[in-house]
Copies of this chain bind each other. A is one copy, B any other.
Amino acid sequence: MILPVILSGGAGTRLWPLSREAAPKPFMILPDGGTLLGKTAARALALPGVETVVTVTNRDHYFATRDVYALLGDARTEGAPFLLEPFGRNTAPAIALAALHAESLGRPGTVMLILPADHLILDQAAFAAAVAIAVKAARSGKIATFGISPTHPETGFGYIECGEAQHDRVHPAARFVEKPQLATAQEYLASGRYVWNSGMFAFTPATVLAAFARHAPELLASARQCWQKLQAGAAAGQAALEIDGTLFKALPDISIDYAVMEGAAAQGEVVVVRGGFDWSDVGSWKAVSELVGADKDGNRGQGERVAIATRDTYVHAEDRVVATVGVQNLVIVDTPDAVLVAHRDHLQKVKEVVGELKSRGHESYRLHKTVARPWGAYTVLQEGPGFKIKRIEVKPGASLSLQLHHRRSEHWVVVRGVAEVTCGERTYAVRANESTFIPIETRHRLANTTTEALVMIEVQCGDYLGEDDIVRFDDHYGRAPAAAAAR
């Protein structure tokens, strides 16, 4: 059995303003409408011998991840296991915990396939062929990595030095090296002996746990403690396992390359499978912009655009028109609350914008204007003194928490679907073109018991309209009674 382990982390600050702290790179909607996370899961599920996928991600992204998987329409994602991190801790702790999970399944012959959720690979057949080779190597007790033949002296990736090919496309991994300077990258490219380190691996749980034991024994010991607490606290059949914060904090914030691979390679435990597939880690706007074709002037993009005397420019437009005049080599990304205008040669510096916004306390580093919630999403349409207007969309079958507000009342107008409203002691239906009023200090709940989406406009009135003015009495998503997150 192949057990894909999807590592879904990484803020993607170089992809601001589409990527935000609360809606990071794996969830970003790509020009084709898909997400990197969804594509990664689909790629894994399309491999032969896959029964389920394990996902290691931040617990804040659990519901959003499930939403992405639900779009795949693949029954194997229902009830698929999750290891939920309380905060980010790099790849070594995530892989150690995933290996302990895989070991606990007690299925001999299982090969774990580690897949970061922010990679893009278009050639599924070539990918599957490389996986088959890697799985064979893994079954023979090796740690198999996937190396990508470099096409240019990239300084943004780590490299692996390959030994002489043993057979097929399999080389011993002589050495892992971190992101090089340009001159070194050029030497690597010229030598033909170096490949890009893709961050994808295949190994059995026993192999990787033995490697952890040899090269990072303390990390493994801490991971085992985490795992034991996780197992002890989990109900039978519980799919989503929340990692304990205090124990997780004891794990070092280091990568699998540094914790295990460098030492394991030196001892001949690692092989490189040269991937015969296209590969991109979609690290910056350059990679995203190249996902769509260019017109005769080299312009690319999506949405309503007007290009006058414009060349080699990428424009991402959402609900506004974006006009360019006399410019070239720009990347322009327009979102409901932030606009980026960057030169193609400076796209790595986009992350500095995020740092600056964070230091200013500006919301746009963290949240999109439309905020995803387990029950659906809300968009703040306008705020003014004493009022706030939201569009609220509730998924079929979903329900907000039973709650009350101390400082605001709410006017609800349903514009699509049917709302089941609880207000005080009454529960009643509100249909499209009907409205209701939720007085201040009144317990209320909004639910959608139908099979169609519910869309509602909420006008809040009050002297304080912060998301933290909420008292939760009951919540289907485990957020009652005093969670900090809104609703």
Which chain A residues have a beta carbon within 8 Å of chain B's beta carbons?
A: 16-17, 304, 306, 308-309, 317, 320-327, 330, 332, 334, 336-343, 345-347, 349-350, 352-353, 356-357, 362, 364, 379, 381-382, 384-387, 389, 391, 409, 411, 413, 415-416, 432-433, 435, 437, 455, 457, 459, 461-462
Q: Give chain B nearest CB distance to A373 CB in angstroms.
A: 18
Are A389 and B389 in touch, CB under 8 angstroms? yes
Are B324 and A387 in touch, CB under 8 angstroms? no
> A459: which of B325, B356, B386, B457 is its contact (CB, 8 Å)?
B457
Are B327 and A364 in touch, CB under 8 angstroms? no
For the complex, what is the distance from the CA of A433 to the CA of B437, rounded to whole Å?
A: 10
For the complex, what is the distance from the CA of A115 to the CA of B416, rounded to whole Å?
A: 53
Are A461 and B415 in touch, CB under 8 angstroms? yes
Enumerate chain B residues within 8 angstroms of A337, measured Cβ to Cβ: 320-321
Are B342 and A326 in touch, CB under 8 angstroms? yes
Are A341 and B362 in touch, CB under 8 angstroms? no
For the complex, what is the distance from the CA of A461 to the CA of B379, rounded to whole Å?
A: 19
> A409: which of B326, B327, B342, B433 is its contact (CB, 8 Å)?
B433
For the complex, what is the distance from the CA of A317 to the CA of B266, rounded to whole Å?
A: 55
Are B362 and A304 in touch, CB under 8 angstroms? yes
Are B324 and A389 in touch, CB under 8 angstroms? no
Enumerate chain B residues within 8 angstroms of A455, measured Cβ to Cβ: 384, 387
Contact A389 to B457, CB < 8 A, known contacts A304-B362, A433-B409: yes
Enumerate chain B residues within 8 angstroms of A437, measured Cβ to Cβ: 435
Are B362 and A321 in touch, CB under 8 angstroms? yes
> A349: which of B325, B347, B356, B435 is its contact (CB, 8 Å)?
B325
Contact A327 to B352, CB < 8 A, known contacts A382-B381, A386-B416: no
- Most central of A321, A345, A353, A387 by chain B CB within 10 Å: A321
> A323: which of B323, B338, B459 is its contact (CB, 8 Å)?
B338
Enumerate chain B residues within 8 angstroms of A433, measured Cβ to Cβ: 409, 411, 461-462
Enumerate chain B residues within 8 angstroms of A432, measured Cβ to Cβ: 386, 461
Query: Whose C-beta in chain B lies nearest to the C-beta of A387?
Result: B415
Q: Give chain B nearest CB distance to A398 CB in angstroms.
A: 19
Are A381 and B381 in touch, CB under 8 angstroms? yes
Enumerate chain B residues within 8 angstroms of A356, measured Cβ to Cβ: 306, 308
- Most central of A17, A345, A347, A387 by chain B CB within 10 Å: A387
Are A364 and B415 in touch, CB under 8 angstroms? no
Query: Whose C-beta in chain B lies nearest to the C-beta of A333?
Result: B323
Contact A346 to B309, CB < 8 A, known contacts A384-B416, A391-B382: yes
> A325: which of B324, B352, B416 is its contact (CB, 8 Å)?
B352
For the complex, what is the distance from the CA of A115 to the CA of B486, rounded to whole Å?
A: 56
- Most central of A325, A332, A336, A337 by chain B CB within 10 Å: A325
Q: Could you pull out 19 A-B pairs where Cβ atoms are within 8 angstroms? A: A16-B323, A306-B353, A308-B349, A320-B338, A321-B337, A321-B339, A321-B364, A322-B341, A323-B342, A325-B341, A326-B342, A326-B343, A327-B346, A385-B416, A387-B457, A415-B459, A435-B435, A435-B437, A457-B459
For the complex, what is the distance from the CA of A75 to the CA of B387, rounded to whole Å?
A: 36
For the complex, what is the distance from the CA of A327 to the CA of B353, rounded to whole Å?
A: 14
Enumerate chain B residues within 8 angstroms of A17, measured Cβ to Cβ: 323
Query: Whose C-beta in chain B lies nearest to the C-beta of A461?
Result: B433
Other A-B pairs, 15, CB within 8 Å; known A325-B342, A325-B346: A306-B353, A306-B356, A308-B349, A308-B350, A308-B352, A308-B353, A320-B339, A325-B341, A325-B347, A332-B339, A334-B339, A387-B415, A411-B435, A415-B459, A435-B459
Are B353 and A413 in touch, CB under 8 angstroms? no
